[in-house]
Amino acid sequence: MRGDTIAAAATAMSNSGIGIIRISGEESLAVIDRIYRSKGETKILSQMPSHTIHYGYICDGETVIDEVLVLIMKSPNSYTAEDTVEIDCHGGILVMKRILETVIKYGARAAEPGEFTKRAFLNGRIDLSQAESVMDLINAKNKFALDASIRQLQGSVGEKIKKIRASLLYETAFIESALDDPEHISLEGYGEKLNYNIINIISVLEKLIRSAEDGQLLKEGINTVIVGKPNAGKSSLMNVLVRKERSIVTDIEGTTRDALEEQINLNGITLNVVDTAGVRETDDEVEKIGVNKTKYYLFNSDLIIYVIDSSRELDKNDEDILNLLQEKKAIVLLNKCDLQQVISEDDVTEKLSEKNLTCSVIPVSAKERSGIEKLEAEIQKLFFSGELECNDEIYITNVRHKMALQEALNSLRLVQESIENKMPEDFYSIDLMNACEELGSITGETVREDLVNEIFSKFCMGK
């Protein structure tokens, strides 16, 4: 129930140096007054200035539970825009549970997942896009995802959307006013002027939608499959990328029977790497299962790293693998370049050309860990158009936002069709308002209550 007082552990329930119990709501200060005892002079914390820290004890009646620091943040200058108290206690599981139980005993209730951030949204301190960026920030897997989340938390997406929405609302209001008062407001030539504004807005929306692919890759990571025929050096490469002995490496072909998965950070880019069974024709039933699983991972991958053993001739197994690379982003690694080479870069490039494939070919040695820097640079080029920088570029990292942007774009294209077909102006306003509704769902200005509840239910407890 909005307006009541909630409490939760804001740090993980695990043994650590410090734990934080957070309280928010109208009774926060009254609750802390009931359980706090100062070490020196008597203090009533509800009478203390906002944003002050106090040293003392949390007590249940006469029983001292822990020695703590208590931070007071009074409405509206807090995360939730409500009176908020944070208790910094020792980070033991038992002591944190005891303090939380005491807080609830003296007037608060247990918070639901994401309820603190939900209150920040409902109280107007942040918009919905900023609220969603909080969880992205917590779950960021690399520096670029972290920077993108911070920019969204600072309002980069919300500000852009609100600016577009304000322009569309102005046009809609103008049409409605002109239809209500045609004697004083003329719509003659308005369609041409509106179309000019719509073209500019569509350009912005298209750019945001295009950024969503990069945004998702930054946020979730690139699903990467290492493929090649047996004993090409796939497992050795996996170990180099992961920087530990993750895969078993032997001279025996078919050592890897099942897929091995690992998440790595490659120069700031997250790769969800799968080391697969070698692709070859085999009568071994277990190995056949591994090969079929390899093909499944290939189908669902963002990137294929095809490892070729440069000390051996290409054969039918390589032909089969090349056929699997069609319509996929792929990089070919010419491995074992530390040995005497039987095939060269030119040989592989010619073979790729025969298959109408334009993959880059990079000589590497997994044994000597050479060529990996070139692989990193090629991945950046393939997915992020070259140098990946932390700048002011806005990346759409939320699938819900992308869908809303696409729906708004579709509505604006319907407005253009109406203008082109010289339809009455009230047709314009219908689709303009649909676009406004979709954009408003990103910032929360037009979002349904059930969607809000669903979004915040995915948050961690205490946030």
Tell me the C-alpha distance between 122 and 461, whole Å: 18
SS (H, E, C) 176-222: HHHHHCCCCCCCCCHHHHHHHHHHHHHHHHHHHHHHHHHHHHHHHCE
Q: Is the pLDDT of residue 387 over 80?
A: no
Decide: 333 and 307 in contact? Cβ < 8 Å: yes
Confidence of residue 219 (pLDDT cuts 50, 70, 90): confident
Between 67-71, 253-257, 282-286, the lowest mean confidence (pLDDT) is in 253-257
Q: In the chain, what are the domain boundaries? A: 6-126, 131-216+396-457, 220-384
- In 3-state terms the chain splits into helix, strand, coil percentages (rounded to 5) of 45, 20, 35
- How crowded is residue 192: how many other Cβ atoms within 10 Å of its Cβ? 8
Q: Is the pLDDT of residue 391 over 60?
A: no
Stretch 274-293: mean pLDDT: 64
Q: Residue 251's pLDDT is what?
A: 44
Confidence of residue 233 (pLDDT cuts 50, 70, 90): confident
Pick from 200, 122, 121, 129: nearest CA to 159:
129
- Residue in the block written with tokens 């932390």: 390
Number of Cα atoms under 13 Å in the Cβ half of residue 253: 11
Between 44-53, 266-275, 339-348, 349-358, the lowest mean confidence (pLDDT) is in 266-275
Stretch 347-375: mean pLDDT: 84
Decide: 81 and 125 in contact? Cβ < 8 Å: yes
Q: Residue 142's pLDDT is what?
A: 76
Q: Of 31-35, 142-146, 342-346, 450-454, where does the model show the most confidence?
A: 31-35
The domains spanning 6-126 and 220-384 adopt the same CATH topology: no
For the chain, what percent of residues have pLDDT higher than 90?
Answer: 40
The pair phi, psi for residue 90, each rounded to 5°, is: -70, 145
| Cross-strand pairs, 59 | 64
Tell me the C-alpha distance between 236 and 3, whole Å: 58
Q: Which residues contact 218 (CB under 8 A, 6 or more apart)?
A: 142, 144, 145, 148, 269, 270, 395, 397
Q: Residue 63's pLDDT is what?
A: 95
Q: Residue 374's pLDDT is what?
A: 87
Domain range 131-216+396-457, CATH architecture: Up-down Bundle (1.20)
Between 258 and 98, name the one with better pLDDT.
Answer: 98
pTM exceeding the 0.95 threshold for the entire prediction: no
Q: Is the pLDDT of residue 67 over 90?
A: yes
Tell me the C-alpha distance between 405 and 401, whole Å: 6
Between 34 and 319, name the one with better pLDDT.
Answer: 34
Summarize pLDDT for 185-200 with one digit per residue, the tens: 888 888 889 999 999 9
Q: Calculate the average pLDDT of the chain.
A: 85
Q: Residue 459's pLDDT is what?
A: 80
Q: Is the pLDDT of residue 395 over 60?
A: yes
- Pick one of 3.50.30.30, 3.30.1360.120, 3.30.70.330, 3.30.750.24 as the CATH number of 6-126: 3.30.1360.120
Pick from 124, 49, 45, 53: nearest CA to 82:
124
Q: Is the pLDDT of residue 413 over 50?
A: yes
Q: Residue 255's pLDDT is what?
A: 43
Tell me the C-alpha distance between 64 and 45, whole Å: 18
- Residue in the block written with tokens 């930054």: 218
Long-range contacts of 345-350 (CB under 8 A, 24+ apart): 347/314, 348/308, 348/314
Q: Residue 212's pLDDT is what?
A: 85
Decide: 275 and 238 in contact? Cβ < 8 Å: yes
Tell me the C-alpha distance between 314 and 346, whole Å: 13
Q: Residue 275's pLDDT is what?
A: 80
Torsion-angle region of 200 (φ positive above 0: left; ψ -120 to 50: alpha; else: beta): alpha
Q: Residue 392's pLDDT is what?
A: 61
Q: Is the pLDDT of residue 73 over 90?
A: yes
Q: Residue 250's pLDDT is what?
A: 41
Number of Cα atoms under 13 Å in the Cβ half of residue 45: 32
Tell me the Cα Rg of the chain: 29
Virtual CA dihedral for 145, 147, 150, 151, nearest 10 degrees?
Answer: -110
Question: 220-384 maps to which CATH number?
Answer: 3.40.50.300
Stretch 62-86: mean pLDDT: 96
Q: Residue 100's pLDDT is what?
A: 96
Stretch 169-173: mean pLDDT: 92
Tell me the C-alpha distance between 399 and 186, whole Å: 41
